[in-house]
Amino acid sequence: MTVETGPEAQVVPPRQSSLSTSAARKLAHTAKSAPMMQEITSRWLLRMLPWVETQGGTYRVNRRLSYTVGDGSIEFVQDGSDVRVIPRELGELALLRGFDDDEVLTALADRCVQREFRAGEVLAERGAPAQQIHLVAHGRISRTSLGKYGDVSVVGVVADGGRFGESALTDTDPTWDCTATAETSGTLLTLSRADFDSVRDTSPALREHLARFAERADRPQTRHGEAEIAMSAGHTGEALLPGSFVDYELHPREYELSAAQTILRVHSRVADLYNGPMNQTEEQLRLTIEALRERQEHEMVNNREFGLLHNASFKQRIQTHSGPPTPDDLDDLLCRRRGTKLFLAHPLTIAAIGRGFNAYGLYPDHVDLGGQQVPAWRGVPILPCNKIPISKEGTSSILAMRTGEDSQGVVGLRQTGLPDEHEPGLSVRFMGMSEQSIISYLVTTYYSVAVLLPDALGVLENVEIFRRRD
């Protein structure tokens, strides 16, 4: 290397004496990874559900005849500050279930009086006469009662879409069995006994419907509302034994398999020339199937017809005690069914569960699930599912379920043996080649999910998952 001296001295770089690495790479093989996909999750729901073969694409759930109907959530419409109950939604009340006279329902809805309440206000006093039903449009109300030893205990929480005081419309001299206190401000609609009676007196159809309701209510039934099987126990001698039979629902629910489909397109030149070291068609298909499985799990949680969030019985929906999830909340959810197999929650909700437990000085246990350690409570694993939505207010839900046909729980539905089946319940069918040399494949998966008994699935609603400011 020549070095010049003086004010204009420059350093002359050495001449290249070997092949550069950038040029050498043109002739070298490179180590490659398979195509990565950020959308892929653990999909615990699909992994944990027992799958039932569904021939004919339909699964019928037969149950014992049940008299407990019409216990759903009531919806409202809002026009500025005015709130009205949707007349048809009054059919969610047990005594109006199946009543479809729109004129009468509209008359009842028009008699509902709007009332605003504030946090801490007592809306009903235990033991006082009950002369109206309250429909909660918005807000949170706790129901408390006195225990055996005079202590105040929380019986339950009523939130958006709930109601209390339904017996006030039909019972003789009804009284409030609990004290209802507003935990937040909100809005409710009140239908008085007098207004209900005035509509009933002018409607023969409503009077006939209420008579049939009273007849059903007088029939012997179990605490679950199922038709009772008469029997005798503890007798001696030649006692006359009752005769009975097990009655079934006349219109059992049927679940039809849903489909998730897409068309995968691959250029023939790509499929022919660029298959080393990885098969392009196989990689395209692998990622497409992953996306379909993600969508399948999303639908099984959120679909309005068969999704778990929308098919949980309203008697199996409970509210948190204070907002953030606590061990008491999980215990309330756990005690509502036998043999709970798993909890399912959004990952952010699981983090909130950990904070709630730490506040009590507790830490969730861990159980082994297929060689993987997962958090658990009372031996029931708490599994993540990012398909459970989070509201704008920062609340989400926690699902608890019993699974399997033998346990009369929640089951996944699918049909195997499909033409060109690639995986159980998923087919990949060749659709031909276009004039642009594009090869097309129809990728289809058929699925659904069924809740065999109402107590197989429970939901803890309005779980606050964000940190509260101190």
Separation between Cα atoms, residue 218 and residue 446, nearest integer Å: 44
Provide the 10 A C-beta neighbour count for residue 214: 11
pLDDT tens, position by position, 133-158: 999 988 888 888 887 777 778 778 88
> Does 132 have pLDDT greater than 60?
yes
Mean pLDDT value across residues 167-196: 87
Best-predicted range by mean pLDDT (248-257, 359-368, 402-411) = 402-411
The DSSP bridge partners found for residue 206 are none
- The percentage of the chain sitting over the pLDDT mark of 90, rounded to a whole number, equals 40
pLDDT tens, position by position, 186-222: 889 999 999 998 998 888 888 888 888 776 655 566 6
Residue 48 near residue 404, CB atoms below 8 Å = no
Separation between Cα atoms, residue 399 and residue 57, nearest integer Å: 27
> Apex CA 433: angle with CA 429 and CA 439, to 5°?
65
pLDDT attached to residue 317:
84
pLDDT tens, position by position, 291-322: 999 999 999 999 989 999 988 887 788 888 88
CA distances from 278 to 35, 187, 258, 271 (A): 10, 61, 33, 10
CA distances from 10 to 2, 4, 17 (A): 9, 6, 21
> Does 445 have pLDDT greater than 90?
yes
pLDDT attached to residue 325:
92
pLDDT tens, position by position, 314-366: 778 888 888 899 999 999 999 999 999 999 999 999 999 999 899 888 888 89
Q: What is the CA radius of gyration of the chain?
A: 31
Instruction: Classify 290 in phi/psi space as left (phi over 0), alpha (psi -120 to 50) or beta.
Output: alpha
The model's pTM:
0.74
CA distances from 203 to 101, 110, 181, 325 (A): 10, 15, 35, 47
Provide the 10 A C-beta neighbour count for residue 256: 15
> Apex CA 202: angle with CA 171 and CA 212, to 5°?
50
